[in-house]
Amino acid sequence: MKNENLNSNKKLDQLEEHRTDNSGEFLTTNQGLKVNNNQDSLKADERGPSLLEDFILREKITHFDHERIPERIVHARGSGAHGVFKLTKSLEKYTKAKFLTEVGKEIPVFARFSTVQGSRGSTDLARDVRGFAVKFYTDEGNYDLVANNIPVFFIQDAIKFPDLVHAVKPEQDNEIPQAASAHDTFWDFISLMPESMHMIMWIMSDRAIPRSYRMMEGFGVHSFKFINSEGDVHFVKFHFKPKLGVHSVAWNEAQKISGVDPDFHRRDLWEAIENGAYPEWELGVQLIPEENEHDFDFDLLDPTKLVPEELVPVEIVGTLILNRNPDNFFAETEQIAFHPGHIVPGIDFSNDPLLQGRLFSYTDTQLSRLGSPNFHEIPINRPVQEIHNNNRDGHMRQQIVKGKVAYEPNSMGGGCPYQAMIKDGGFHTNNERIHGNKIRARSQSFVDHYSQAKMFYNSQSIPEKLHLQNALIFELSKVKIHAIRERMVAQLNFINKELAANVAAKVGVEVTVLDMPNQSIPADADPKTLQSAEREPKTTSSEALSMKNTAKDSIESRIIGFMMADGVDADGVNTLKNQLENLGAVVQIIGPSMSAVKASDGTKFIPKHSISSTASVCFDALYICPGAESAAELMRSENKNWVIGFVEEAYRHCKAVYFGADTNAIFSKTDIAGKTFEDPAMIANVDSTVGNGKFITAIANHRVWDLEIDRYENN
């Protein structure tokens, strides 16, 4: 026993040597070098490209890239599908990329959607950014558009990305919480980063809890460049706009879905494709001539800013359709490797400092995650264009290259493979004049952190503002440290004073009025760098930023729950079922149990769900099927509480609820029956010829979010 104690103490001493406390210490590199600037990467001038020389950036991101093996550090939880992209309008005037100039040609694609912060086993319904990455298998090589469902990001410079992710991930000491930003470290970081305020408005909005992957937008985030055959340059912003519109779920609903079906989005995408309801998006671009780069009151290189559609309309140029599920999730969805640096002739990078860091980071990450520099040989990553180069060997090499030569120039191989001329499709980097000092700094034009945050908030409908406010209250109520909550409310006060006051009242702090962060202009500043510092915003609200304006003309692929029991009226059920299915909706039967439901005429309906094994949150709308006998059976003592709870919850989430003929035994027992204000999505005591049409219209509108305001006023 004595020897065991000695050994134990020796082990503790060894461990003690490796423990450290960062309190009161200077920030250093892994080599012990004190870091003077941890906010900005090294650039060729303030607005110039990031430099490979930046060993601090490379060390920090390399270490970050290799923190998880083999799961992705971010975007670990994902789902994907195969599809096609078809160009409908040529962009030959702007770019020489063939897949954007050859109208009508179909390009195979693979798209992967994901959450950012959670592990592979986390829920689909976390409040989070959603990845929207598309690999285009073009004749000129693979092109990856690595997008998100939010058009801006938290930070302006890639050197801060590891800090952001470390802050939002589960806290270091206890690995809590998973897939959630409602904790101290995230809000501590955010409250000290004014540049994040625009993104916070988006992430606290309903955009962060989409109804499905099929109903969310995609944005390229960064400004890229188009280059045409004449060498003319345009900045470009990419947009994917969903055919079904942009729709969300309620936060309370998202929490319940996470318990009932944490694979909700993954299942939704898979089943839609299996049912032939292929998800579809329009690809759009915003185009800005190079000479107009400095015409805005924000900087095009700033990834925390968007270009309002009122200033530069989105031009629709093609369609993206996903039409085939993977055959093997791991081999395809998990092993696919995206990289914003996978481009084709006619597309190039801007000097956005977040994008510049991503160009290094993604390859480095794939080396760790997929275990080999030959990750491009995995079938899902192979281009349709043949690969010919002098890269050799490496772990898991598959390509077999004949001959002796693996270098260039050479004579033994006839000089092959040889360089392609530009006219032959060889990639040519845009000739951009670079001047200025080698500097670790940020342009003054990146300084304004609140104007677009205000614009987003101003653009929201009243229900959307209410949801955003409640999201902030929920998140900050989970923050234990009073000073962090106080700092965050002070930041909100720069965006909207009423919002700040309402949040402060619920999270137990006073609104502290701070001085606006320093936006002073250096005396020797270049006028081109003064955009955001000295100009009033041209756009204070934008219709495109609110989901109230989204498409509401289709019920395609919506999931409609038909609740029924023995004695149901088969004719009434089948009439509405046929109408809904003819319009592309999916009808799912909910019974008291999984046993067949026998209709009054002897017809049998097979339930997909039992009342106790599902919940209203899994459906877009609810139909209480007609028939007095069915209604009485549903209200039997063992079913009653389930049924009433099911119906009232759907109503609270502003969904369409339709009571069929002779179901007053249920309707009269719900809280809904006593409401005095009109609900266009609550259909009861009407003839089916009228009721069916009203129900279909209500489903197409997705939700009646405005009812939340009516409920507050009537309570």
d(CA 283, CA 355): 21
Name 234's bridge partners.
226, 289
How would you classify the pairing of strands 656-659 and 682-683?
A: parallel
Is 113 strand, coil or helix? Answer: strand
| 97, 156, 287, 358, 659 from 350: Cα distances, Å | 17, 13, 14, 12, 56
Sign of CA dihedral 354, 357, 363, 369: negative
Task: With beta carbons less than 8 A apart as the criterion, state whether 302 and 529 touch.
Answer: no
In the annotation, is 148 catalytic? yes
- Identify the residue whose tokens are 């026993």: 1
Kindly report the number of other CB atoms within 10 A of residue 351's CB atom: 21
Distance of CA 213 to the CA centre of its chain: 9
- The 3-state DSSP class for residue 547 equals helix
Distance CA 315, CA 321 (A): 18
Reading the block at residue 452, the tokens are 């677009």
- Euclidean distance between CA atoms 56 and 30, whole angstroms: 9
Dist. CA 389–CA 392, nearest whole Å: 9
Tokens of 195: 């540049």
Helices (H), 305-438: 353-369
* Count of residues in the chain: 715
Q: Are 457 and 496 in contact (CB under 8 A)?
A: yes
Angle, vertex CA 290, rays to CA 285 and CA 294, nearest 5: 100
Residue 40's nearest CA partner among 161, 166, 220 is: 161
Beta strands in 58-211 (DSSP E): 78-87, 106-115, 130-138, 141-148
3-state SS assignment for residue 274: helix
Distance separating alpha carbons of residues 643 and 465, to the nearest angstrom? 32
Number of CB atoms found within 10 A of residue 220's CB: 22
Write down the H helix ranges in 583-658.
628-634, 637-652
Give the burial class of 253: count Cβ atoms within 10 A of its Cβ; 0-12 exposed, 13-18 middle, 19 or more buried: buried
**Residue partners of 564: CB distance under 8 A and separation at least 6:** 573, 589, 590, 591, 597, 605, 625, 627, 630, 634
**Marked catalytic residue, from 82, 142, 148, 183:** 148
Q: Say which DSSP state 333 is in.
A: I
Cα–Cα distance measured from residue 247 to residue 209, given in angstroms and rounded to the nearest whole number: 9
- Please give the structure tokens belonging to residue 203: 């992430």
Residue 413 to residues 202, 253, 276, 406, Cα–Cα distance (Å): 56, 64, 50, 9
Phi, psi of 15 (to 5 degrees): -65, -35
Q: Return all residues near 22 (Cβ < 8 A) that are at least 6 apart.
A: none
Q: Which of 9, 30, 37, 75 is catalytic?
A: 75
Catalytic residues: 75, 148
